[in-house]
Chains A and B, each alone.
Chain A
Amino acid sequence: MSMMKNLTKGFFKENPVLVLALGLCPSLAVTTSIENGIGMGLAATAVLVGSSAIVSLLKKFIPGSVRIPIFIVIIATFVTMIDLTLQAFIPALSKSLGLFIPLIVVNCIILGRAEAYASKNSVFDSIIDAIGMGIGFTIALVLISSVREFTGTGSLLGYPLFQLMGIEGFKGSIMMILPPGGFLTMGLILAFMQWNRLRKKAKEGGR
C-alpha cells in the first residue's frame, strides 16, 4: 500500500469513529465545543503516534501471551505524559477535558491500532497509520462538535455567526449541548454515512 493511501485511509474510508464506531465515549462527551473537540483529537493523536511507534519498535521483544498488558502500560505512560503536559502548559484545556484525558487509555482506537497494525508492521508504516487514524478521529470530533456547538449555542468557535450577520434571536437549543444532543448528532451523522454507503453500493450494483 502506498504511503499516501496508508495515511489517508483513516480520514474517511476507515474513519475510526464514523465508520468503525470506536472511541465513542470521548467523541460524545467532549464535543460540546469545537475547541474541546480539537484538543481531545490532538491529545489522542499524540498518544496514538507515540504508542504505535514504541509498540512497533518493540514488537520482536514482546512475548505474545502478555502483549495486551504491555500495550496498556505503554499507552498509559503516554497518556500520563500528555496529561501532565496539558496540566502544565494548557491548563484551560486540561480543565475542560477533565476526566476524559486519563480515559484515553481505554479508548479502543489506540489499543486496537497497537494490536491490529503496529504489532505487525514497520515503525515508519505504524507512525503513518497512527497519524492518519489520529487525524480521522480529530476530523470526526470536529464534525460532531461543530454541529453541536452551532445548533446548541448558535456560534462557531465562540463567534456568534447569526449575531455577526445581524440576525438577532437565534439562540440555539441548549439540548444539543446537553447529553441527548450528543447522541442525536452521532446518530444522524452515522445515518448519513450509512445512507452514503448504501447509495454507492446501489450505484455499483446497477452498473
Chain B
Amino acid sequence: MGNIFKLSAILFLVGGIAAGMLAFYNSFTKPEIEKLKAQNESEARQYVMRGLFQKESLGGLIYDEDEIEIGGKTEKFWKVREKESDQYYKAFVFLSKGQGFSGVVETMVGTDASFKINTIKVLKHTETPGLGAESQTVKYGESEPFFETWFKGKNSLKVVVEKDDSASPDKVQSITGATITTRAVCKSINKYAEAVKAKLDKPPVIYVDPENIISVEETLKKAQADSVKAAEESAQTGTEGNDGGAK
C-alpha cells in the first residue's frame, strides 16, 4: 500500500515541477506572442492600404475601430483616416472569414470608400499544400502572392469566381484545383463588405465615395428620409419591421 502512495507522490511531484516550469516559460513567451499578434495585425492593415495613400502617410494612418454583426457574432473592422482633421473616411479594412476546403480562411481586405478592393492579404488558412495553400505562395521573382493581385480593383461587394459568373466585371480566376478556397475568399469578402456597408449606411454617415462625393449633412438627410419612409412602410403593413433597415 505504501508503495502506491510513494509512486503517486513521485508522479505528482514530476507533474507539478513540469507544470511550474511551463508556467514560468509561458510568462516569457506570452507577451512576445501577443506583441507579435498585434504587430502582425497592424502590419497587415498597412499592407492592404498600400497604394491607396501616399507612402509617407502609410505609417501614420488613423484606424478607428468599429464593430459589425455577422451571424450573431461581433467582429471588428477599421475606418481609415489620413489625419486627425479629416472629416471623412477614405478607406476601410476588415477581416473576412469563410469556410474553405478544410478550415476557415481568414483574409484581411483593404478597400477604398467605394468598396473597391485595394489589396487583400490571406492571413490564416489550413488548406491543402499545393492547392488552396497556393493562396499565400509568392512565385519566384514576384514580390507579392499572385492570388492577392487578382483581387486588385474589384468591387468587394460583387467579387465572384470566374466559374460562377464569367460575365461579371468583378470576376477573379480560381487557383488551379482549389475553386473551393477561391470561392470561400470571394464569398466571405462579399459578406463582410455587405455588413460593413450596412453599418456605415446608418446615420451618421461619414465616409466618402470618391466618384460621388456626398457631404455629411446630405447623407444624414437621406438616411433620415429613409428611416421615416421605412417607419411609414412598417406602419402600413402593421409589422415591427425594424431590423436596422439596410439590406
A contacts, CB < 8 Å to B? 32-33, 62-63, 65-66, 69-70, 73-74, 76-77, 80-81, 84-85, 87-89, 91, 95, 98, 152-153, 155, 158-160, 163-164, 174, 177-178
Q: Which of B14, B21, B33, B140 has the most CB of A within 10 A?
A: B14
- Do B129 and A177 touch across chains, with their CB atoms under 8 A apart? yes
Mostly helix, strand, loop or mixed at chain A's interface?
Answer: helix
Question: Which residues of B are found within 8 Å of A84, using beta-carbon distances?
Answer: 25-26, 29, 33
- Do B29 and A73 touch across chains, with their CB atoms under 8 A apart? no
- Do A88 and B7 touch across chains, with their CB atoms under 8 A apart? no
Contact of A87 among B18, B29, B177 (CB under 8 A): B29
Given known A87-B29, A158-B140, A174-B177, contact A66–B10 (CB-CB < 8 A): yes
Nearest residue in B to A95 (C-beta to C-beta)?
B124
What CA separation (Å) do A62 and B176 show in the bound complex?
55
Given known A74-B18, A76-B18, A88-B33, contact A81–B128 (CB-CB < 8 A): no
**What are some 17 contacts across the A-B interface (CB < 8 A)?**
A32-B130, A69-B11, A73-B14, A73-B15, A74-B18, A76-B18, A77-B21, A85-B29, A88-B32, A91-B40, A152-B130, A160-B140, A163-B140, A174-B177, A178-B129, A178-B130, A178-B131
Contact of A32 among B29, B36, B129, B140 (CB under 8 A): B129
Q: Does B52 contact A (CB under 8 A)?
A: no
Contact of A65 among B7, B32, B33 (CB under 8 A): B7
Nearest residue in B to A76 (C-beta to C-beta)?
B18
Q: Does B168 contact A (CB under 8 A)?
A: no
- Size band of the B side of the interface? 20 to 34
Question: Which residues of B are found within 8 Å of A62, using beta-carbon distances?
Answer: 10
Q: Does B126 contact A (CB under 8 A)?
A: yes
With A74-B18, A77-B22, A81-B22 given, name 12 new contacts (CB 8 A): A62-B10, A63-B7, A66-B10, A70-B10, A70-B14, A77-B21, A84-B26, A87-B29, A91-B36, A98-B126, A152-B130, A178-B129
B3 → chain A closest CB, angstroms? 8
What CA separation (Å) do A24 and B131 show in the bound complex?
23
Nearest residue in B to A83 (C-beta to C-beta)?
B29
Question: Which residues of A are found within 8 Å of B18, using beta-carbon distances?
Answer: 73-74, 76-77
- Do A174 and B29 touch across chains, with their CB atoms under 8 A apart? no
